[in-house]
């Protein structure tokens, strides 16, 4: 008899536990490629075009310096028998100066571009995070997962394009660029 009484509460608890998942709604999950969402924004496209225009003169100067180095190298190779030792020495010294200048130009250009890129992407990523949070709240999404961390998902779960559109709406291109 005591065995029978002991099973009653266990069966009741088991029934309640089996119904518990029905009382809680399943979380709504979405996936996003945050990198794609950010890079597809009009803001980033504009900032990229502005960076290209800003750094083009310096990139052109670097290219010209590299072409001068190649020209000197070619003259040294082709005219080795015809150049005087003094002329060879002068060309080599000029080539070394140009190589140092090219290296300095390249290092400075890379550092400035990287600094601007980091600043622009940092601000855009923070803005996108805010946009995704707002978008998730509007759509009743409980969890947003980075697409790269997911093995499989159904395409309707992807909110990347929605996030890009919401970003473009929140931060129109006419506004100051992200990097400023």
Summarised one tens digit per residue, pLDDT across range 164-177 is: 999 999 999 875 55
Residue 159 included in any domain: yes
Lowest mean pLDDT among 33-47, 76-90, 106-120, 140-154: 76-90
Residue 87 included in any domain: yes
Domain count, the chain: 1
3-state helix, strand, coil in the chain (%, to 5): 75, 5, 20
| β partners of residue 143 | 29
Residue 29 included in any domain: yes
Residue 6 included in any domain: no
Residue 113 included in any domain: yes
In terms of pTM, does the model score above 0.85? no
Residue 179 included in any domain: no
CATH number at residue 58: 3.30.910.20
Whole-number Å distance between alpha carbons of 132 and 127: 9
Q: What's the token pair of residue 125?
A: 């990523």
pLDDT in tens, 113-162: 999 999 999 999 999 999 999 999 999 999 999 999 999 999 999 999 99
Range of the domain at 100: 25-170
Residue 142 included in any domain: yes
Residue 131 included in any domain: yes
Cβ neighbours for 82, distance < 8 A, ≥ 6 positions apart: none
């Amino acid at each position: 008899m005591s065995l029978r009484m002991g099973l009653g509460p266990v069966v009741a608890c088991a029934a309640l536990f089996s119904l518990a998942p029905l009382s809680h709604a399943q979380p709504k999950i979405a996936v996003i490629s945050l990198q794609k969402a950010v890079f597809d924004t009009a803001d980033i496209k504009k900032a990229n075009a502005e960076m290209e225009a800003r750094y083009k003169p310096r990139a052109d100067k670097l290219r010209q310096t590299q072409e001068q180095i190649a020209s000197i190298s070619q003259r040294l190779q082709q005219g080795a028998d015809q150049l005087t030792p003094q002329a060879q020495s002068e060309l080599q010294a000029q080539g070394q100066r140009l190589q140092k200048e090219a290296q300095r130009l390249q290092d400075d250009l890379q550092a400035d571009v990287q600094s601007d890129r980091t600043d622009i992407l940092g601000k855009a990523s923070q803005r996108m995070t805010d946009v995704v949070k707002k978008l998730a709240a509007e759509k009743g999404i409980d969890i947003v997962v980075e697409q790269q961390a997911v093995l499989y998902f159904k395409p309707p779960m992807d909110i990347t394009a929605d996030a890009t559109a919401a970003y473009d709406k929140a931060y129109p291109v006419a506004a100051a660029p992200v990097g400023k």
